[in-house]
Amino acid sequence: MFRGQPASQPASQPASQPASQPASQPASHNLGLFKEFFNHSRLGSLVPHQQLFFSFKDLMIVKSYLINLNLGQRFSFLRTVLLFILAISSLLTISVNSAHALNASTANVIHGSAPYLSFDNWNRAYTTEPLLWMRFSNGAVYQPYNDYSNMANPIVLPDSILKVGDVQTIIPAYNYPSISLSNIIASNNYFNDFDGDGEVNSTGSLTVTWRDVYNNDITDWVKHNQDAYFSSVNGPYQITISSTNGYLWTRYGLPQAGEVSNFQGASHTYYILPVSRARALRAQGLNMGMPYDVSPDTTENFPTTGGDGLAYHLYLRDISPEEVIAINGATVHAVEGEGVYLTLSADRNKLEITLHGPIIVKSKKHKVKPRLEGGNFSPSRFVLYADRSHSKVLYQFELKDWFLNYGPVLSTGPGTYTSKCYYFEGYWLAQENNLSTFYQDGGWGQTTVGLGYFFNEWGSRGGTWNLEQPTVTASGSVVVGGMIRPLTDDNPNVLCVKKRRMIHRP
């Protein structure tokens, strides 16, 4: 028996402690048992400096140095001590292994969530369509989902949107025609990652393409001419913004990317039509014609009289003659009336307009009456537009009188000149109030108002007709150099005029 222990005390007393005893029993109790073991086991000396470890290996070392141990008498107590040492050793082994496992786990990067495209920093976006917006400098914004413009129904630009730089996309003009999606997404925080991983990158790119109405690619011109004005002739313009497919990835996070990181590209085309700033300033007949300012009132515009081959210049601002021709065509027909039409041509910075209609054709054969070619004239209204959609009128006028140039006629007696116009139905010999308001003596009718009178409108020589001889009137006077004077010539020029009928308006 161990010294100091009652004889009646069973050797197995330590093992019979209540099961409810906490596992966290103070370590001093176990150390006391261990001390008791050495005090009563008559252990000899250990090898100097040999340390004692609580493991199976250390237990064998202890066992090898036991001297004169009376196992028979103390086996019961030794079993308890050995079980205690075994338990401590197992706990230490588990602790060491657990620590080793923890260190091995924390040495690897912890796996989390992958980044994804998001325009509100929460909800996942599956497409780049929200990036395809168009914005005007006045703050108006268009998105693909609310834009239904097309070539036939373009977005008409407000009056304040005059320059190409007034129309913006997510791609800055200096980056035209493309920019990386990584640049756009990172700089605008268009992504989310629940791990909080930053330094997001993206594959793919955004591209913008500008085209004019002729489908010419003008993207580079737009890039380098942000202060240039839109041309109504080249509209509607097409602005196509497109994005490729792509995916997001972060630099440090794991996973760097995942299935949620993928997104689809998109494309959208906007059609815009600039408001024309073009103006027609004045009109002037060729060959010494008088200039007339252009008025919004159709009836106040030159010319109101006309004849085949007469031509004049139209002076323009903010639109070229070529643009007017492109918009209206080289041949323009009347919107009201019949028998006449216009041809347009460019003469430097002016638009040249030539009238075409009924004309006298004379036969070289003797006694063959002249005939009229070119159809039947009725008062006609013409309109030239400043934009391709024909929504803005550039210039308009009404031809009320149509003249035929019969040419010089030698008098053979009374009624000689009047009879020449009888060949042509509806025409008669021009009167003074058809030809001029200027009198040689400065008498009645002298006025500067010129519209409605042939020579007042077309000049003293009748424009491109170049009438060098006096023109006879039905009253027996003549017009010379635009002035009305008495007849002194027996071979004057004869002009026939179609009876005027006003255009009916509802």
Secondary structure (DSSP) of 273-334:
EPPP--EEEEEEETTTPPEEE--SSGGGSS-SEEETT-EEEEEEESS-HHHHHHHH-SEEE-
The label of the residue with tokens 């085309």 reads: 269
- The strand pair at 483-486 and 438-439 is best described as parallel
Q: Respond yes or no on whether the N-terminal peptide bond of residue 255 is cis (omega within 30° of 0).
A: yes
In angstroms, the CA 218 to CA 239 distance is 10
Q: Is 287 exposed, middle or buried (0-12, 13-18, 19+ CB in 10 A)?
A: middle
In angstroms, the CA 202 to CA 181 distance is 6
Identify the pLDDT of residue 95.
45
Query: Which pTM was predicted?
Result: 0.60
In angstroms, the CA 453 to CA 122 distance is 77
- The one-digit pLDDT tens for each residue of the chain (506 residues) are 333 333 333 333 333 333 333 334 444 444 443 444 344 444 333 333 334 344 444 444 444 444 344 444 454 555 565 555 655 555 444 444 444 443 444 434 556 678 889 898 889 999 999 999 999 999 999 999 999 999 989 999 998 999 999 999 999 999 999 999 999 998 898 988 766 656 788 999 999 999 999 899 999 999 999 999 898 778 899 999 999 999 888 877 667 666 778 999 999 999 999 887 889 999 999 988 889 999 988 889 999 999 999 999 999 998 999 999 999 999 999 999 999 999 999 998 999 999 999 999 988 776 678 899 988 999 999 999 998 878 889 999 999 999 999 999 988 776 889 999 989 999 999 999 999 988 876 544 445 557 999 999 999 888 889 888 899 999 889 999 888 999 887 889 999 999 665 444 43
Strand-pair partners of 498: 427
Check: CB of residue 232 under 8 Å from CB of residue 273: yes
Identify the pLDDT of residue 457.
94
> Any idea what DSSP says for residue 89?
H
> Any idea what DSSP says for residue 13?
G
3-state secondary structure at position 118? coil
From the CB of residue 502, how many other CB atoms can be counted at a distance below 10 Å? 9
- 143, 181, 200, 222, 389 from 245: Cα distances, Å: 19, 10, 16, 26, 37
Identify the pLDDT of residue 103.
44
Identify the pLDDT of residue 78.
52
Burial per residue of 40-78, b for 16 or more beta-carbon CB atoms within 10 angstroms, e otherwise = bbeeeeeeeeeeeebbeeebeebeeeeeebeeeebeebb
Identify the pLDDT of residue 208.
98
Angle at 59 between CA 76 and CA 40, to 5 degrees: 45
Check: CB of residue 157 under 8 Å from CB of residue 224: no
Q: Which helix (H) or strand (E) holds 180?
A: strand 178-180
**List of E strands, 188-254:** 191-192, 200-202, 205-211, 237-243, 246-250
The label of the residue with tokens 């216009």 reads: 342
3-state secondary structure at position 32? helix
3-state secondary structure at position 93? helix
The alpha carbon of 6 is separated from its chain's Cα centroid by a whole number of angstroms, namely 103
Identify the pLDDT of residue 65.
41
In angstroms, the CA 181 to CA 179 distance is 6
Identify the pLDDT of residue 89.
54
* Token representation of residue 15: 């093992």
From the CB of residue 220, how many other CB atoms can be counted at a distance below 10 Å? 11
